Amino acid sequence: MTRGAPTVGVVKFASCDGCQLSLLDLEDHLLEITGTFDIVEFAEATSRRSPGPYDVLLVEGSVSTEEQAAEILELRAQARTLVTIGACATAGGIQALRNWADHDEYRRAVYAHPEYVASLATSTPVSSHVRVDAELHGCPIDRGELLELLSALAVGRRPQIREDAVCLACKRRGVVCVTVARGIPCLGPVTNAGCGAICPAMDRGCYGCFGPRPEANMPSLTGSFLASGGTRADVARLFEGFTAYAEPFRTTVSDLRGRGPEEDADAQQ
């Protein structure tokens, strides 16, 4: 690290640690990154700790306990630039499926003493709680996009993250469409690119882990899934994945299931 290098913190809420691991997975660039930035907080990787302030704070995970709801407010105050990384932080993650369910039943089913488990009824994205300066999508995030983000922050330019759908990435990669050729349901038309279209390239449908495109035409896609024989529950399950709580997937799931999720407001009780 160099004197005066921008300080970086990496913190987590409810998550699998995979997105912060993506930073360590930048193996070939890791020592360059640590030479450019001063990583002052990253509990998974270093015993050195810092409560802030941070020039850049990378936040993994969804807000799912009262402590986390309070902590994100503190962290926001310590961060000049706050970037959420991954489907949990940007969309609530797979654990946000509990937002449609009875949280008390979940707690009773998994824990013998549910009263000792202090978790909120909802799992919500960081942006439901504080202002977020940038987001990296994905479950997990793409290493290349993370490297681009850090490179841009290092020199103070805008990160060049491509904004289009998996369908376009698929065409660029020259992959035969799994839906057209084989009738496999695929969320590629409505999902953010960034993964490199790996699911179609692996002969399966996209499952939406980079989250919905804002302009997604949901009625058209769900209509075609229903027309090809899927039940409403079958189609709902396609969207009940790692970014189900992000709009417009959230409304689609609620419409197909005939029930809505707990609202964000509950997360800030």
Contact residues: other proteins, CB under 8 A: 12-22, 24-25, 27-28, 30-31, 34, 39, 42-49, 61, 64-65, 67-68, 93-95, 97-98, 101, 105-107, 109-113, 116-119, 123, 139-140, 195, 198-199, 201-204, 207, 209, 237, 241-242
Judged by beta carbon, residue 112 or residue 155, the one nearer other proteins is 112
| 156 phi and psi angles, rounded to 5 deg | 75, 30
Angle between helices 249-257 and 232-239 (to 10 degrees): 150
- As a whole number of angstroms, the distance between CA 12 and CA 89 comes to 9
Judged by beta carbon, residue 82 or residue 139, the one nearer other proteins is 139
Sheet hosting strand 134-136, strand order edge to edge:
38-42, 7-12, 54-60, 79-85, 134-136
Judged by beta carbon, residue 79 or residue 244, the one nearer other proteins is 244
- As a whole number of angstroms, the distance between CA 167 and CA 219 comes to 17
- As a whole number of angstroms, the distance between CA 216 and CA 228 comes to 20
- As a whole number of angstroms, the distance between CA 241 and CA 87 comes to 10
Q: How far is the CB of 234 from other proteins (least distance, A)?
A: 9
Hey, which residues does 54 pair with through a beta bridge? 79
Q: How far is the CB of 137 from other proteins (least distance, A)?
A: 14
The residue to which tokens 């299931």 are assigned: 257
Judged by beta carbon, residue 12 or residue 137, the one nearer other proteins is 12
Judged by beta carbon, residue 217 or residue 228, the one nearer other proteins is 228
Q: How far is the CB of 158 from other proteins (least distance, A)?
A: 26
Q: Which helix (H) or strand (E) holds 83?
A: strand 79-85
**Encoded tokens for 200:** 């179609």
Q: How far is the CB of 62 from other proteins (least distance, A)?
A: 8
- CA distances to 111, 134, 173, 216 from 232, in Å: 31, 34, 32, 19
Q: How far is the CB of 157 from other proteins (least distance, A)?
A: 25
Q: How far is the CB of 120 from other proteins (least distance, A)?
A: 9
Judged by beta carbon, residue 25 or residue 55, the one nearer other proteins is 25
Q: What is the dihedral of CA 155, 51, 93, 159, to 10 degrees?
A: -10
Judged by beta carbon, residue 144 or residue 219, the one nearer other proteins is 144
Q: How far is the CB of 113 from other proteins (least distance, A)?
A: 5
Q: Strand, helix or coil at 212? A: strand
